[in-house]
Amino acid sequence: MSPRGRAVDPGNLARWCLEHLGSPPSEELFRSGYLSAVVGLRLTDGREVVVKVRPYSLRIAACVEVQRRMFQAGYPCPRPLTGPAAFGGDVATAETYVPGGAMLPSTDHAVVASAEAFARLIRLAPRPVEVSTLDPAPSWAAWNHAGDGLWPCPEEDPGVNLNEVAGAEWIDDAGRRARDRLRASESGAVIGHCDWLAGNLRWSADALLVVHDWDSVIAESEPVLAGFAAALYSTVSVDELATVEDTERFLVAYCQARGREFSADERERSWAAGVWTRAFDAKHQHAVGQPITSLSENEARERLRRAGTGSQRP
């Protein structure tokens, strides 16, 4: 899915920094964004910070609290500098700027390094009852959303109703079967990151340098969180998501890192979660006329087989 940055007025940004950080910007280091506007700044007092502006959501406060607790626990993430504060009609937060690093660990150890880093995140995260609500989950993780239809509203295109987009029936079939498999059983929720993409991670050799995008933390069952990560991470190229074999290797390494194997039911739910998130992205790509790169029909069929369900051939 393509980034969509939000416009941030420099004057408003300077006033916000002065009020909430005690110093205005002296230099803009970078500007990027996907669902948010992300602006790197050097303040006049010498600090380097990142300000993130996005639409208000009740869950943002809990996301910042999770990030704060992870930083205090020693997990590699930027230190939050503010809680959510009004920025015009939006809300902004600030955190320390952590520069550098590579998007992938060294090729020989990419799978194990990524799985161990994710297992450590799950282990150190607070319990869901220790923070305020993390609902609703981001759309690509919202397999059990409360709305009508199979697909939730895509956050990056709120005017697009995926349930009204015709075509690519195999994607709808994959998403429906994955959702139904996830609904067939459940387990207790933990907190984890639902967007374990290469673009959100930075590495120093095989050591995790920093994890970004803490707006993507959710409360969900551990097998589902592991399944999202195992389907979304990259091994040899940031432009290529995990293959079926990569996902299998990640789940094996993850269970080794956590010190306990998943049950057969948990493993199937992990595979189903991966199908859901990749099918959601594929449906959005189809809806907006982009090439479908997140999932292929043959890959969906194999992933669904490992999830304990099948897919119908057209």
**Residue 138 is assigned to a structural domain of this protein:** yes
Q: What are phi and psi of 221, to 5 degrees?
A: -70, 150
User: Domain check: are 285 and 150 in the same one?
Assistant: yes
Q: Provide the mean pLDDT of the chain.
A: 94
**Per the structure, how many domains does the chain have?**
2
At residue 155, the pLDDT reads: 83
Query: What's the mean pLDDT in 284-297?
Result: 96
Boundary of a domain, candidates 72, 96, 120: 96
At residue 311, the pLDDT reads: 52
User: Domain check: are 87 and 181 in the same one?
Assistant: no
User: Domain check: are 112 and 239 in the same one?
Assistant: yes
Q: What is the pLDDT of residues 56-89, one digit of tens each?
A: 999 999 999 999 999 999 999 999 999 999 999 9
Alpha carbon distance 106, 99 (integer Å): 19
User: Domain check: are 142 and 278 in the same one?
Assistant: yes
- State pTM to two decimals: 0.95
Query: What's the mean pLDDT in 104-128?
Result: 94
Alpha carbon distance 119, 308 (integer Å): 24
User: Domain check: are 111 and 90 in the same one?
Assistant: no
User: Domain check: are 71 and 114 in the same one?
Assistant: no
Alpha carbon distance 197, 241 (integer Å): 8
Q: Tell me what percent of the residues of the chain surpass a pLDDT of 90.
A: 89
Alpha carbon distance 309, 314 (integer Å): 16
User: Domain check: are 45 and 142 in the same one?
Assistant: no
Boundary of a domain, candidates 96, 118, 152: 96
At residue 310, the pLDDT reads: 67
Tell me the CATH number at 48. 3.30.200.20
**Residue 285 is assigned to a structural domain of this protein:** yes
pLDDT for 11 beyond 60: yes
User: Domain check: are 198 and 299 in the same one?
Assistant: yes
At residue 109, the pLDDT reads: 87
pLDDT for 313 beyond 60: no
Considering only CA atoms, which of 162, 12, 155 is closest in space to residue 91? Answer: 12
User: Domain check: are 299 and 217 in the same one?
Assistant: yes
User: Domain check: are 120 and 55 in the same one?
Assistant: no
3-state secondary structure of 204: strand
Which regions of the chain does DSSP assign to beta strands (E)? 25-33, 37-43, 48-54, 85-87, 90-96, 189-193, 201-204, 207-211, 217-221
Q: What is the pLDDT of residues 86-103, one digit of tens each?
A: 999 999 999 999 999 999
At residue 77, the pLDDT reads: 98
Alpha carbon distance 30, 42 (integer Å): 10
Residue 77 and residue 168 in contact, taking contact as beta carbons nearer than 8 Å: no
Q: What is the pLDDT of residues 132-178, one digit of tens each?
A: 999 999 999 999 999 999 999 998 788 899 999 998 999 999 999 99
Range of the domain at 26: 10-96
User: Domain check: are 78 and 179 in the same one?
Assistant: no
Alpha carbon distance 226, 232 (integer Å): 10
**Residue 218 is assigned to a structural domain of this protein:** yes
Q: What is the pLDDT of residues 39-54, one digit of tens each?
A: 999 999 999 999 999 9
